[in-house]
């Protein structure tokens, strides 16, 4: 959703400046063009070379650096779709709110007439300062998007409000602001993510290597497209939409079946354990003198197959992870499961799939039409999958 967009990042001199290197990478990973400008003081905290290498673009600090007969702050404004000021210091916030243009960054913000996101970060007392708050309120009242700082351990050694918000919050806000595609408004979507966990005894379990990244990417994108999202996840994660944590396959079955025929779509992106331990031991299993032990497993319910058989109004989407004969197996699987769409991915490849931020998939429908989605970030793949399902 950020592919091809130009994001202009403004870094002012808060110690959180170093975190912005990762934000640059997050935008680059999804195909955005990133330009970076800094206040002269910020250059003491993070180097031009680092930011130039990560953004693959020239980095700007000084005013009066005129290229191609245009002052730099005006060219930067023309090019960018959005300006993200992070970290925003008390000083820079206050200057901006009062129309002061004493360096390239403040001049650019003053001339920028497209969306601006501000992520403040500062010491708690500075954050609580009446004038800083008034200036920030002025910006908020004038349609600047504010990503408020969080509470926590600060670089100055104290605890309190002032820590830069999570980079994901800034990233999500950028998508939200730039993306007017609210195509999934009024749609209710349930997405499963992660690998289910089957307990053996109070300290041991059987699970799989699923990272849950694809499911979370689908949930994030569906949320940005306006959907009412529930993520049924095997791990704890904080999100602006509803997250229901489950552990075992039986837990997941209970949770997911509740939504069948009550929502528009269920996407089963989780890696669900096919078997669970037959006899759960209430007490920790002891090591014995035997060289081998046997743990008996019993079949778990196939949630996808079950909800597909019981579905009436809900679109059901399954995932299929194969290490060989991907498309042949996928064609058999969509018929066997009875779902509307099946997303097939090849887990034998090291560069995509499990734990990776990238994927390459095929989307099969129940008439066995196949669409190939080329290798891309999981967020962009998620976008294409949702576009296809709700075509
Ligand atoms: O049969 P297989 O595990 O390859 O199918 C994968 C798809 O089926 C995924 O969408 C997964 O979430 C779902 N599944 C399920 N219940 C199971 C096993 C897999 O819903 N017991």
Q: Which of 77, 101, 156, 339 does the annotation list as catalytic?
A: 156
Residues within a 6 A CB radius of ligand 1: 192, 249, 268, 270, 272, 274, 300, 302-304, 318-320
Closest ligand 1 atom, residue 249 Cα = 21
CA-to-CA separations, 269 to 122, 165, 236, 303, 375, in angstroms, rounded = 39, 28, 16, 12, 18
Q: Per-residue pLDDT for 354 more than 80?
A: no
Cα(204)–Cα(315) distance, rounded to whole angstroms?
36
Question: Is 156 one of the annotated active-site residues of the chain?
Answer: yes
In the chain, DSSP finds a helix count (H) and a strand count (E) of 13, 20
Ligand 1 centroid, distance to 259 Cα (angstroms) = 17
pLDDT at 74: 79
Residue 70: beta bridge partners?
67
Instruction: Return the best residue to mutate from 303, 340, 341 for the ligand 1 pocket (most ligand atoms within 8 A of CB).
Output: 303
What's the pTM?
Answer: 0.74
Residues in the chain: 391
pLDDT at 71: 63
Contact call for residues 24 and 63 (beta carbons, < 8 A):
no
Ligand 1 centroid, distance to 206 Cα (angstroms) = 16
Q: What is the pLDDT of residues 251-274, one digit of tens each?
A: 999 999 999 999 999 999 999 999
Q: HSE, CB side, 13 Å, CA atoms: give it for residue 226.
A: 11
Residue 336: beta bridge partners?
none
Residues 288-308 have a mean pLDDT of 96
Cα(22)–Cα(27) distance, rounded to whole angstroms?
9
Q: What is the pLDDT of residues 99-130, one digit of tens each?
A: 999 999 999 999 999 999 999 999 999 999 99
Ligand 1 centroid, distance to 318 Cα (angstroms) = 7
Q: Per-residue pLDDT for 68 more than 70?
A: no
Contact call for residues 113 and 144 (beta carbons, < 8 A):
no
Q: What angle do CA 199, 204, 206 make, to 5 degrees?
A: 55
Closest ligand 1 atom, residue 301 Cα = 21
Q: What is the pLDDT of residues 362-378, one digit of tens each?
A: 999 999 999 999 998 89
300 Cβ neighbours under 8 A, 6+ residues apart? 196, 198, 249, 250, 253, 272, 273, 274, 275, 276
């Amino acid at each position: 959703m950020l592919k091809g967009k130009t994001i202009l990042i403004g870094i002012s001199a808060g110690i959180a400046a170093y975190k912005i290197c990762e934000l640059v990478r997050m935008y680059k990973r999804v195909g955005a063009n990133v330009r970076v400008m800094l206040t002269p003081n910020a250059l003491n905290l993070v180097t031009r070379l680092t930011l130039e290498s990560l953004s693959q673009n020239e980095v700007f600090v000084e005013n009066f650096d005129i290229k191609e007969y245009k002052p730099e702050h005006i060219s930067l404004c023309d090019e960018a779709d959005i300006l993200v000021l992070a970290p925003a210091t008390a000083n820079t916030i206050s200057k901006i709110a009062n129309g002061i243009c004493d360096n390239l960054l403040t001049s650019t913000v003053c001339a920028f007439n497209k969306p601006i996101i501000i992520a403040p970060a500062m010491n708690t007392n500075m954050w609580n300062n009446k004038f800083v708050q008034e200036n920030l309120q002025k910006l908020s009242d004038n349609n600047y998007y504010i990503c408020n700082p969080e509470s926590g351990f600060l670089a100055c050694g104290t605890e309190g409000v002032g820590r830069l918000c999570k980079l994901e919050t800034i990233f999500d806000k950028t998508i939200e602001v730039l993306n007017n595609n609210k195509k999934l408004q009024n749609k209710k979507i349930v997405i499963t993510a992660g690998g289910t966990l089957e307990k053996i005894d109070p300290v041991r379990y059987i699970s799989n290597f699923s990272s849950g990244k694809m499911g979370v990417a689908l949930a994030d994108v569906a949320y940005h497209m306006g959907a009412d999202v529930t993520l049924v996840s095997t791990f704890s994660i904080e999100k602006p939409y509803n997250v229901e944590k489950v552990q075992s396959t039986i837990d997941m079955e209970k949770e997911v079946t509740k939504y069948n025929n009550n929502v528009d779509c269920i996407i089963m992106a989780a890696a669900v354990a096919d078997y669970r331990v037959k006899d759960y031991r209430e007490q920790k299993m002891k090591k014995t003198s035997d060289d081998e032990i046997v743990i008996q497993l019993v079949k778990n319910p196939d949630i996808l197959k079950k909800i597909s058989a019981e579905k009436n109004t809900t679109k059901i989407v399954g995932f299929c992870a194969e290490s060989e004969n991907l498309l042949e197996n996928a064609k058999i699987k969509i018929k066997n499961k009875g779902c509307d769409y099946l997303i097939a991915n090849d887990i034998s490849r090291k560069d995509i799939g499990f734990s990776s931020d990238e994927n390459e998939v095929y989307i099969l429908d129940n008439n066995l039409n196949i669409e190939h989605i080329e290798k891309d970030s999981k967020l962009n793949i998620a976008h294409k999958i949702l576009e296809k399902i709700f075509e």
